[in-house]
Chains A and B, each alone.
Chain A
Amino acid sequence: MFELTLQALYSGLLTGTYYALVALGLALVFGTMKIINLAHGELVLLAAYVAYTAESQWSLNPLAAIPFAMVVVSVVAIAVYLLIDRIKKDRELNSLILTFGIGIILTNFVLLVWSADIRSTTTPWFQQAVVFGDLLFSSRSEILFFLISVALVGATWWWLSQTWYGRATRAVSSDRKAAMLMGVNPRQTEILSFVVASILATVAGIAIFTGQVIEPSLGHALTVKAFIITVLAGMGSIPGVLLGAILIGVVEALTVTYFSSSLQELTGMVLFLVVLLLRPQGLFGFGVRRG
């Protein structure tokens, strides 16, 4: 019993960190543009399938496919941005419909090109077990991407707080008009937030491809999860996103261990509803923010 719980906590921690990458991208774009990109999970999935093609067609190691996948995902993300940018009326609402549609198109594109079969890496290195003290089981991929994800979350935090572009991004998130009156070009920061979100999404996609399995419907599930995490975190707090993501990962792992894997996707939703009812400002948010 104790061992099972410990293992679930451990697995949840490892999964939660790459969830954080997905959620952080969603939150960044929400911050600068005040829109929810409902095709965000599909971008993650796209990166995974690019790595799959690179590996199966050109025998490229999935890690080596990362830069290539980043370019593909960024190009698609910028295209999404340009489409959203064309919406002149009720952008918050209409962008939901637009990005939902793009998500469906991307899912079907993936189905068409890569079929509905479940895929995973064929490079054995990633799947080899790493065991700590005969107690905690994981794969090399999970450990590797845990470290990369934590580093990337840290790098994103550093970027947002210490660099000029990051500060501009925060300024636009905080108050778009005030930022523009200071001379910040909001379009630049918006495109940048899409590109950073793409980079994070790509790494998450490769983490899933090497550590788990991918299939065309995964994108949608990831979007929902990222959205739940962002709301749990209380929109816009990076440590909150990381903690929220790990919380979801852990609760999912506990559900799978003690109930059933078929309930895994449900647990996030339940947690989400409970938090919305009891703490609408988010688990780690402090009051409702103005502006």
Chain B
Amino acid sequence: MLQLEDISVAFGGLAALSNVNLRVDNGEFVGLVGPNGAGKTTVFNVISGLVKPTAGNARFIAMDLLKQPIHARARAGIARTFQIPQPLHELTVRQNLIVAQKFGTGHSDPKRIDEILDFLGLTERAERNAANDLALTEHKALEVGKALATDPKLLLLDEALAGLETTGKRQFTQMIKQLHEETGLAIVIIEHDIETISELCQRAVVLDFGKVIADETPERIFRDPEVMRSYTGERSA
């Protein structure tokens, strides 16, 4: 469904990504891992259109992705969440979802909004201001909710679990797992926690200094001493 071919991104002199290849099939759940600054978020930015690669190709379903503006990619079914939640200010939680649904899908379906609110445990918070009146977990849930409201085919989750305490994290992981099982949505998740990746993903792609250094099942990857060295080495730094 998604195919990145030899994608390179440079910021000034810094090579953030070098010849990255990434393939995501229908219904797949892929983990994107790597140390801080490895270029994980940049991969998402390339897919969603916020960053233009300096070289490479990208296809999404039958679409030449790199030629499309940001909003067209969203309409085509690519949704993402941000590391730092970005709700639309001045709108309530529900309005955030309504706007996302209307503009992502072209129609409005209040029942679906209720379902999403319920699924994410946000029903009681629906009429609150999205920018000011939410706890961190709720912000994270709303991030996912906004993405779901656009009825995506591919969901990109950027550290959706980071910063949550243990129980919150467990609940959130189960929720995302359930989401994947029920909808068959293709999901790519950026996540540092090895256990979470192992639980959720069929495949994990390891980025280091902008290069893909492994692309295998989580079990094999986390058994590979080479990968673990780059991974843990950078993390404790």
Residue numbers of A with Cβ under 8 A of B are: 164, 167-168, 170-171, 174-175, 177-186, 289-291
Choose among B50, B70, B86, B103 the residue that contacts A175 (Cβ–Cβ < 8 A): B86
Q: A183-B71, A185-B71 are in contact. Are A178 and B103 (CB under 8 A)?
A: no
Checking B71, B79, B86, B105 against A184 with a beta-carbon cut-off of 8 angstroms, the contacting residue is B71
| A-B residue pairs, 10 tightest by C-beta | A183-B74, A180-B70, A183-B103, A183-B104, A183-B75, A182-B100, A184-B103, A180-B71, A174-B89, A174-B88
| Given known A-B contacts A167-B95, A186-B71, A181 and B80 have beta carbons under 8 A apart | yes
Residue contact A174 to B91, C-beta cutoff 8 Å: yes
Q: A174, B90: Cβ atoms under 8 Å?
A: yes
A178:B86 contact, CB within 8 angstroms: yes
Q: Are A182 and B90 in contact (CB under 8 A)?
A: no
Interchain CB contact (< 8 A) of B74 among A164, A174, A180: A180
Interface residues of B in 100-145 (CB under 8 A from A): 100, 102-105
Instruction: Report the bound CA distance from A291 to B88 in whole Å.
Output: 9
Contact of A182 among B49, B69, B89, B103 (CB under 8 A): B103
Interface contact B48-A181, CB-CB below 8 Å: yes
Write the chain A residue with the least CB distance to B79: A181
Asked if B211 is at the interface of the complex by the 8 Å CB criterion, the answer is: no
How many B residues are at the interface, by size bracket?
Answer: 20 to 34
Q: A177-B50, A182-B74 are in contact. List 16 more A-B contacts (CB 8 A).
A: A164-B102, A170-B88, A174-B90, A174-B91, A175-B88, A175-B89, A177-B86, A178-B86, A178-B88, A179-B103, A180-B49, A181-B74, A183-B100, A183-B103, A183-B105, A291-B89
When distances are taken between beta carbons in the complex, the residues of chain B under 8 Å from A289 are 89
From B49, B50, B98, B99, name the one whose CB has the most chain A CB atoms within 10 angstroms.
Answer: B99
Q: Which of A164, A170, A183 contacts B150 (CB 8 A)?
A: A183
B146-A182 in contact (CB<8A): yes
A183 to B91, CA, bound (A): 17
B132 to chain A, nearest CB (A): 11
12 contacts between A and B (CB under 8 A): A171-B91, A178-B86, A180-B49, A181-B70, A181-B71, A181-B79, A182-B74, A182-B150, A184-B103, A185-B69, A186-B71, A291-B89
Minimum distance in angstroms from B42 CB to a CB of chain A = 15
Q: In the complex, which residue of chain B has the Cβ closest to the Cβ of A290?
A: B89
A102 to chain B, nearest CB (A): 27
**B87, B90, B103, B150 pick with most chain A CB within 10 angstroms:** B103
Looking at the assembled complex, report how far the CB atom of B110 sits from the nearest CB atom of chain A, in whole angstroms: 14
How far is it, in angstroms, between the C-alpha of A167 and the C-alpha of B94 when the chains are bound? 13
Q: How far is the CA of A262 from the CA of B100 in the complex (A)?
A: 52
Q: Return chain A residues, CB-CB under 8 Å to B90.
A: 170, 174
Output the nearest chain A residue to B78 by Cβ-Cβ distance: A181
* Bound Cα distance A179, B102 (Å): 11
**Chain B residue at minimum C-beta to C-beta distance from A289:** B89
User: How close is B146's CB to chain A, nearest CB, in angstroms?
Assistant: 7
For A178, give the chain B residue with the smallest CB separation: B86
Known: A180-B70, A181-B74. A168 touches B99 (CB 8 A): yes
What CA separation (Å) do A171 and B80 show in the bound complex?
Answer: 17
Given the known A-B contacts A168-B99, A171-B99, A177-B70, are A182 and B104 also in contact in the complex, defined by CB atoms under 8 Å?
A: yes
The docked-state distance in angstroms from the alpha carbon of A168 to that of B99 is 7
**Assembled-state Cα–Cα distance A182/B80 (Å):** 9
User: Are B103 and A170 interface neighbours, CB within 8 A?
Assistant: no
Q: Kindly report which residue of chain B lies nearest to residue A170, judged by CB atoms.
A: B90
Residue on B with the closest CB to A291?
A: B89
Nearest chain B residue, comparing its CB with the CB of A184:
B103
Assembly CA distance A174 to B88 (angstroms): 6
Q: How far is the CB of B207 from chain A (nearest CB, A)?
A: 22
Closest chain B CB from A95 CB (angstroms): 21
A168 near B91: Cβ-Cβ < 8 Å: no
Give every chain B residue within 8 A of A180 (Cβ-Cβ).
49, 69-71, 74
Please indicate the chain A residues that have their CB under 8 angstroms from the CB of B87 in the complex: 178
Chain B, 54-93, contact with A by CB distance < 8 Å: what is the 0/1 string?
0000000000000001110011000110000011111100
Specify which of B50, B88, B150 is in contact with A171 (CB 8 Å cutoff): B88
Rounded to whole angstroms, the CA-CA distance of A233 and B95 in the bound complex is 24
What's the Cα separation between A177 and B80 when bound, in Å?
Answer: 12
Report B137-160 residues with CB < 8 Å from chain A CB. Answer: 146, 150
